[in-house]
Structure 1
């Protein structure tokens, strides 16, 4: 019997597990390796502290604790919560820890900056290891613990966790067969926003070399909005809005207050579109000195190849339950309630006639999707100027919902259509050929090449992931009336 794989990293020796795929290919998984000390007690609202070295061999056969607590309920991606105080961990999946020079994919999970888990079966990297890529998933502090603007505590603790994890990768990935000079960071939703945030940070540029953002949801939270949220929570808890006050709030109680303060229902969508997120990376004037778009426009990260794209109907599910209520409501009136200026409404409807045909709720969902994701991604691509940038659309309509909803592209990117939890998102028979195509493009990019289509330019060409896959000029023309 083959013995468990072991390797030595900066903090000590770790023991992983060999895995055998259905086709007989082997790979190794090293799970729950801490890159920082547990963020509890005095470290709860502190910057991450480098993990202390250990003696002997540390077992890395199971996922470590997650920042997400409790049962998240039914979510679009299965992302389990795992108990434990040591929540700042990395998970490494490698074709062979005894080799070297392999490209590396570092995945940052989504979840709105308040939920999510790196322990999803969709993220385990088996398809990327099959194709010769070392895959790393990282954890980070969530919600107020990671991103709350708290007087007396360092800002953007969750961002600092990303940086610490990437520093760990630079220092240790060679021990797993990876090349620290060939690191691609990728993520979806808040994770996609995370990699864009990092791309715009001058202090992070040495930590990665390429970026792939799926449905990136940027934080770029204004300081006053960030502070207003923590003030609201502090009042509800009956404590001062500073580090000492928040340290006195039990984590479960803080999570409940956070959920109450950030709850979004269909009636509140318009306000969110106008004001932006209240929880996420904050423009704190120190770690993040300017919004991401401004940073990219100034040339930060211009040497890093970037792929970014969105699903066509990211937010439509939120309004799907209002189909009957909105059926007879004029579409222009609903768009106005969501904040679209009168002068742009007719042009927007004309540019989206295919969606208009499905009713008021669908066009409202498309508009919210455009404002939160699609329009912003086009703007970021334009702000990059001549920097190497590729855009895509994920347009294949889910066999479950009939449109390309938020998170639908993730199992295609990871080529894991046989994983648990796929049918509730994609239906019973998602097209494997589409997963083959998208995953192959990702492998080509992470391995150091181009993803396979024309760079973003004046004609607006993007790859459209549908059946069949096609490259289309003016692929994002439907958002032009919003710009």
Structure 2
């Protein structure tokens, strides 16, 4: 949890210094995407950090909080491969390059079908830890218990976060029925039927598998967090604009829209040569409005703002993930 303590130190620095930059320490808004979105949720689950920020915008959050025993086992495995004690002093005596290379086998174990299935079913295996000190319970349990409930929150995800990882196999997957493919990833028959019925707009095995991976890794967390909080100060959204380059509304595609930097280097490679400026105006404008007013400007949870070329609001934005629990 040293990383978590670094976040808190950074927020304390903001409290002490932001006036020098024209800021207001009583109006700090957090924003994070992917692992950063998970960081936002982790901080919402730590009451001791709540005086340091006053609103939060959470994009495509992971939920990577792990148990103490799992964290110790991972540390033991890494320390054993290096023949050092599992301690700060033990790892501190190892050259950074050697330490980095020693982690490769641990990462490789998460690849392939088996690794994908484990990641889809049980989430990431690196992240903040329930240590009984700084973090006394899992984030979702903390949020359901009311932690951070009074802090205004915007939370959402892209529609097809990780579907692009299946693109190399798309020509083969078109011959595979969706149900057995989902079963290979651990979705049992009854839940598979309910899940497919809840997502009638997702067609083709590649799209269905990609949506399932995206839902398990990101989108179901949005629904769980939204349901855990007070609806009156929680707003959901979906980023649904599909890249003309990749064909999906995929992970990180919304970031240049959020910051309104469509002309930045590298954006055309993922968003095409002419991404819609009006959509950037909508998303960036919504972020600025939330930062200044702590209100999003659309209906509260479980409604969701759909960010697409024709933005709109739907009554329940994450109904499709409910069969996944």
Q: Which has the higher strand share?
A: 1
> Which residue does 2:97 correspond to in 1?
252
> Which residue does 2:158 correspond to in 1?
311
What secondary structure does 2:201 align onto? Answer: helix
Q: Which has the higher helix share?
A: 2
CA offsets per residue over residues 291-335 of structure 1, 9 Å max, x none? 111111111111110000000011112222221332322211111
2:68 matches 1:223: yes
In the TM superposition, what are the counterparts of 1:10-409 in structure 2 within 5 Å? Answer: 156-263=1-108, 264-267=110-113, 268-356=115-203, 359-386=204-231, 388-409=233-254
Q: Distance in 2 between matches of 1:416 and 1:350?
A: 38
Relative contact order higher in (CA < 8 Å, ≥ 6 apart)? 2
Match of 2:304 among 458, 462, 466: 462
Runs of 4+ aligned residues of structure 1 deviating over 4 Å after TM superposition are: none
- The 8 Å contact of residues 121 and 216 in structure 2, kept in 1 or not, is answered as no
- The 8 Å contact of residues 412 and 439 in structure 1, kept in 2 or not, is answered as yes
Aligned residues: 323
- The 8 Å contact of residues 399 and 428 in structure 1, kept in 2 or not, is answered as no
Unmatched runs of 5 consecutive residues or more in structure 2: none
> Which residue does 1:142 correspond to in 2?
none
CA offsets per residue over residues 117-165 of structure 1, 9 Å max, x none? xxxxxxxxxxxxxxxxxxxxxxxxxxxxxxxxxxxxxxx0000000000
CA offsets per residue over residues 66-86 of structure 1, 9 Å max, x none? xxxxxxxxxxxxxxxxxxxxx
Q: Distance in 2 between matches of 1:204 and 1:448?
A: 21
Q: Distance in 2 between matches of 1:266 and 1:466?
A: 33
- The 8 Å contact of residues 162 and 214 in structure 2, kept in 1 or not, is answered as yes
CA offsets per residue over residues 160-192 of structure 1, 9 Å max, x none? 000000000000000010000010000100001
- CA 347–275 in structure 1, closer or farther in 2 if over 3 Å, else same: closer
Unmatched runs of 5 consecutive residues or more in structure 1: 1-155
- The 8 Å contact of residues 311 and 394 in structure 1, kept in 2 or not, is answered as yes
